[in-house]
Chains A and B, each alone.
Chain A
Amino acid sequence: MKAPSLTEKNRPEDEVSFVQSAAMLIRSMPLLVRLCACWTVVVLLVAISADFISPYSYSQLDLLARLNPPVFWGGSSDHWLGTDELGRDVMSRLFHSVRISLLVAFISTLLSATVGVLMGFAAAHFRGWVEQLVLTLVDFQASMPFMIIALAVLAFFGNTLVLFIALMGFYGWERSARIARGLTIAANEQGYAAAVYDLGASPWRVYLLHILPNIASTLIVSITLTFPEVILLESGLSFLGLGVQPPMTSLGNMVGYGREYLQTAPWILLAPSMFIVVTTFSVSMLGDWLRDRLDPTLN
């Protein structure tokens, strides 16, 4: 028999397979949440396979077919969702926009969670002036509207995609930092972490093997709440022309440029708008549902 190690979590008696537990999870979702989960999966698939399912290149001009309406608006089936002012296929642009927007949001959210957790751990571990410093930064970040900071930084740093993502990566770090700090302090003060620490374990062991797995569920919830907010922020900035720059495209970007054709060709703006709203709504609903299920304060 293989000795069970610390990381081995299976129980020999009633082992539940991953598929089974996933099925159980889905069955416990209300209808609306289930729909939201479906939409999230669809959007992810679109983002991954944007190159294959796009009928045209997103930057391919067709000056003969400018401002063509979508097929259900009386347009031709050459361009399902119509074309924009330069005759580019709206559907292809939409798919690529989804990809860019999700990519930005995904990497930024991960960045912010990592930064936040490290800061939170540092504050909880060292206490004293390190903690005060982290708390001051957290307060500062939380009290300044991020939109304003982002505006100032962006316009003056210029606009590469990498830089933009790095900037978005500062969004919401203070929330992860607060969670990590709070839960770690609680664990250190009376809980399981103190017990392991008192056994003589090294801080590495305590943080990686005990604290991180314990706060993971709360962190995941916070990440699902940050993710749609980053999408909103990104699209807002791109809408103002200060986010993702042409020729690259993003959802907010499409809305921003489509705005000038609000009266003549509203479809350019409506399709990406719909994607933003439904996607952020879906992810938020999922996050909200997850919080109700996983929030340790409710157990």
Chain B
Amino acid sequence: MTTLLQVQTLSKHFQVRVPEGWRQRKATLRAVDGISFDLQAGQTLGLVGESGCGKTTTARLVLGLTAATQGQVLFNGQPVESQRDATWRAQRQNMQMVYQNPLGALDRRLNVISQVLEPLLIHGLGDALSRTEQAQDLMDSMGLPKPLWYRYPHELSGGQRQRVVLSRALILKPSLLVCDEPVSALDVSIQAQVINLLQDVQERLGVASLFISHDLKVVRQVSDQVAVMYLGHIVEQAPPNQLFSEPLHPYSQALVSSVPSLWQGQNQKRQILQGDPPSPLSLQSGCVFQNRCPHAQSICRQVKPSLTRLNPERHVACHLFAENPRLSGAPMEVRS
């Protein structure tokens, strides 16, 4: 297995103005703050977290659509820059994005086959005939039969539109797909169709994917590894089964327990976190989760825990596991 994507202490800070009484104050919004992860070829990394935790910014950074404040992204060993030059354009052929809102991401004045073959046109690949044939073959294999090819986006259903977006992303045969909430806008019965399709495509074409979602159930379904984000940090990374059966970080525990299960019904025990996530503008020193954490200690207010490797598959950023995992035992008893 080769490492396709390496993200190294990547940060994105925005300078914003916040109202303060009668005046405004300049502040730094740390959307993404020093995250690192690797993605192997053909694998899926799920990125899960609540709104405003920096998932979408991460996606844009990985694809070089916005400039990083710190750190770098290596794709096949080559740095991904946000400068839109020839290298950037060449990289587009290997990395593509799938959007949350397929109707918004498609041009409503253009029939869908034209949009699927547009990447070939932009990158000057093939002649008119071969482009059309490629698009037709691909759309056929994506569950978009011939009668749909010359329709306009608003004439398709939500699931079909997402198939079009997916086809457009795949026609250049990329090795990495970045999917930003690809099924959130779809109805549940359609979500399953798209998830299955995505999994089939990945398997058939060997595409790796960075799968971003707020929906833990979906992330668990598709991922080989899951990274949990909170306020611009990765607080835990683990294979999905381990994460869901035995979450380590107190935030992961709360997040996992907040997902209602179909089969446990009213027996399910919920661990309720108090309050809202603090604003990413007013972060104190120490752990980002300190003021909602039931196990916060004095060290958590002073020192920011770093993402530490517990075993080859699991990483966690929490002082409870820093020296000796199971220190003071506290967080482990929540779920049995």
Of the candidates A12, A13, A198, A210, the one whose C-beta lies within 8 Å of that of B107 is A210
Taking CB atoms and an 8 Å cut-off, the chain A residues in 201-222 that contact chain B are 201-202, 205, 210, 213-214
- Say whether A199 contacts B92, CB under 8 Å: yes
Report B11 CB to chain A, min CB distance, Å: 22
Quick check: which of A85-93, A96-104, A188-196, A245-253 contacts chain B, the rest being far away?
A: A188-196
Q: Taking A3-B132, A190-B101 as contacts, is the C-beta distance between A210 and B110 under 8 angstroms?
A: yes
- Does A274 touch B at the CB level, under 8 Å? no
Top-10 shortest CB links A-B: A3-B128, A200-B92, A11-B150, A213-B109, A192-B107, A200-B89, A3-B132, A195-B105, A191-B104, A201-B122
How many chain A residues touch B (Cβ–Cβ < 8 Å)? 26
Residues of A within 8 A of B123 (CB): 200
Taking chain A's interface residues, is the majority helix, strand, or loop, or is none over half, making it mixed? loop
Report B159 CB to chain A, min CB distance, Å: 18
Of the candidates B109, B118, B165, the one whose C-beta lies within 8 Å of that of A214 is B109
Report B120 CB to chain A, min CB distance, Å: 10
Residues of A within 8 A of B105 (CB): 190-192, 194-195
- Say whether A4 contacts B114, CB under 8 Å: yes
Contact with B along A164-179 (1 / 0, CB 8 A): 0000000000000000
Of the candidates B109, B121, B122, B151, the one whose C-beta lies within 8 Å of that of A11 is B151
Q: How far is the CA of A132 from the CA of B155 in the complex (A)?
A: 39
Residues of A within 8 A of B110 (CB): 6, 9, 210, 213
Chain A residue with Cβ nearest B60: A198
Residues of B within 8 A of A196 (CB): 107, 118, 122
- Does A297 touch B at the CB level, under 8 Å? no
Report A95 CB to chain B, min CB distance, Å: 39
- Say whether A214 contacts B111, CB under 8 Å: no
Q: How far is the CA of A13 from the CA of B148 in the complex (A)?
A: 10
Q: How far is the CA of A210 from the CA of B111 in the complex (A)?
A: 12
8 A-B pairs (CB sep. < 8 Å): A3-B128, A4-B132, A9-B111, A192-B105, A196-B107, A201-B122, A205-B122, A214-B108
Contact with A along B19-44 (1 / 0, CB 8 A): 00000000000000000000000000
Residues of B within 8 A of A20 (CB): none
